[in-house]
Structure 1
Amino acid sequence: MNWFHRRGWRDLIIGLPYLWLALFFLVPFLIVVAMSVATKTPTAPPFSFGGEHPWVNLETYQRLVSEPLYLRAFLISLMNAAGTTVFCLLLGYPMALGLTRVSRSARNILLMLVILPFWTSFLLRVYAWMGLMGKSSWFNQGLTDAWNWLVPADWAVKSLPMMHSNFAVILVMVYTYLPFMILPLYASLERLDPTLDEAALDLGSRPWQVFLDVTLPQSVPGIIAGGLLVFIPAAGELVIPTLVGDASTPMIGRVISDQFSQARDWPMASAVAVALLALMVGPTMLYSHYQARAEGSK
C-alpha cells in the first residue's frame, strides 16, 4: 500500500496512455502487418496462412513496388498532400501572424472563427463545396467570368471544369486542413519576444528584413508541426478524393478502400496501408528526435 500511495497514482496516470496506444494502435497495426503477409483466399475472411507460403507471403510487397497503380497512387497522394501543405502555409502564416498582432478581445473572436468550421459536420462541408464547384453555382460562374475576362476570346469557356479533378481535391483539402496549420503557427508565433523585432527595427532593419531574419527562423518549429499535421492526414485522405476527385487519378486512401471493399484483397490493402504508415511515421519520428536534441542542447 505504501508503494501505491507514493508511486502508484503516478505510474497509473503515466501507464494509461501507453495502454491506450497498445490496445488501439499497436495491436491493430500488428494485425494489419500480419494480414499484409497473408495469402488472398476466396474464404471469409479473405486471407489465410499456409499452403504455398506457410507463414510469410511477400508477394503483396513485390506488387507494391512493381505495379504502376500503387506507385502512381502514392505519387499522386504525395503531390496533392505537398500542394495542400504549401497552400495552407501560404494562407495560414499571415493569418497566424495577424492573430498575434491584434488585441486580446479581437484575438479571441478570430480564434473562434478559425475553429468554427469544426462545429459543422466534415461531410456536410465537403458536400457544400461540391455544390459550390458545380457548373451552375455562383462560385463557378464568378471564376468563369474572371477567366473569360483575363484570357483571349478564343479561350473563353461557358464554365470551368472544377469537379472531379486534382484541383478540386487540393481546394477542399486546403479548406479542411487550414486550421491545423494556423493553430500550431499561432502557438509558435505567440511565444516570440516582440522586443526582438523592435530591436531589429531600431538597428535599421526594414520590416521585411525583420520578418526574414528574426520572425521566420524562430517560427520554424511551428511551420514543421503545422506541416506535419496537414501533410500526414492529407496524404491518406479518402472522403475528399472519393467525392470530388477523379477516379482515374486515385489517391492512396481510395486505393486501400477499393482493395478492402471491392477487390476483397485484404493482404494487398494491408500492405499498402503498412507502406503508407511507414512513409508517414518515419519523417515524424525523425523530426521528434531532432526536436528533442535541439531542446536538450538549449
Structure 2
Amino acid sequence: MSLRKQLNDILPTLLPNNPAEAIKGTELIRLARINLTGNYSDASLRYHFSIMSCDPTSAIAKVEKGQGYYRRSEPLPALSGAQELLAWTQGRLDDISGDDSSVDSAMLRIRKFRAVVTRYYEVNGRFPFAFRDPFTNTSPLGNLWKYPELVLVDWETGGSPDEEMSLDGGMLSLKQRLGIAPFRLHSARLRLSPSLMTYREDFFQTLSVSMWAQGGELIYAGPIADEALADGLRKLSAAYGVGVTSFGMTPEVLDDLPRPANILNAHPKETEAIMAKLDIHKIAAAQSRPHLDWVALNSLRSESEEADKLVAWLNHCIDERRAEPFKDE
C-alpha cells in the first residue's frame, strides 16, 4: 500500500478537529510512524503532509497562522441564497431529504448571520440593503449568479459628529455635475462555512453578482483556519478584486445568539455584547471600481422590484441630503 493511501487511512484518527488544538508536524510524524507499514523519512512524511493539506478531499489541513495540522471537516450544506435557499453547491432545499431539523437549524443559523452582518455594518457606518425575493425556493438557480444577498452602501457624509448622517453638500453637488455617484456600492455574498471544496464557487458567484456594482465582498460566518483555503482566496482576490472577510463565528456561537429579529432590534448594550462575539478577520480587501455599470443596474431594475427599491432609496437619500437606513414600507 502506498504512503499516500496509508496516510489517508491513518490521519483522520490522529488529527484534532479544532484548529486551535493543531498538532505539530514532529508529533504527527511520530504518531503516524507507529501505524505505518514501511520505513519512511521525516522529509517524505512532511512532504506528504504539505501536499495533502492542499487537497480538498484529504482529511489533513494546515493552520493558516502558526504551525500544526488539524482534521478538515466534511463539507456542509452551503448557503446558495440568503434566507430561503439552502444547497449542496447549486441544489435546492427540496434536494435535501431526511433530517428536517438539520435543515431548520442551518436556515436559522444563516438568518442569524445575515442579521449579525446587517447590524455590524450599520454600527460601523455602512448602509445595508437586502435582496430576498430572488432567493425563494421556486426562484431560478441563475439568480444565484445575478443577485447579491446584501448591497453595502458607503456615502460621502459630513465631517462633524453632529452631522455624521448628513451628506457632504459640496461633494454631492460636484459629483452630480461630473456624473459621478456620491456613494460606493458593493455587492455582498454571505456564506456560513468556508470550504476548500466550494470556495471557488462562492468567490465567482460573488464576482458575478457584483459586476454591476463598484465592488464585491464575500463574507463568511465561520473562521478561515485552513492555510490552503486562505491562500486560494487571496490569490483569487488579487486577480479579481473581490474582498473576503470572516466573522469568526462557529456554529456553536451562532446557535447561542438570539433570534434574528432580536439581533436587528437589539439595544446598544445588547448589540455591544453580540459584536463582542465576533472575530473579524479580513483575508483580502475589496477593490472599488470608480463607476457603476448603469446599463446593468437599469436592466436589474426592470427584472426586480427590490432593485427598483434600492434605486428609489438612494434617490431619497440624495434628495434629503441625508444617509438614512433603508426601511421597507
TM over 0.5: no
Structure 2 length-normalised TM:
0.26
Query: When you count helix as a share of all residues, which structure comes out higher?
Result: 1
Higher RCO (CA-CA < 8 Å; seq separation 6+): 1
Structure 1 length-normalised TM:
0.28
Query: When you count strand as a share of all residues, which structure comes out higher?
Result: 2
Larger Rg: 1
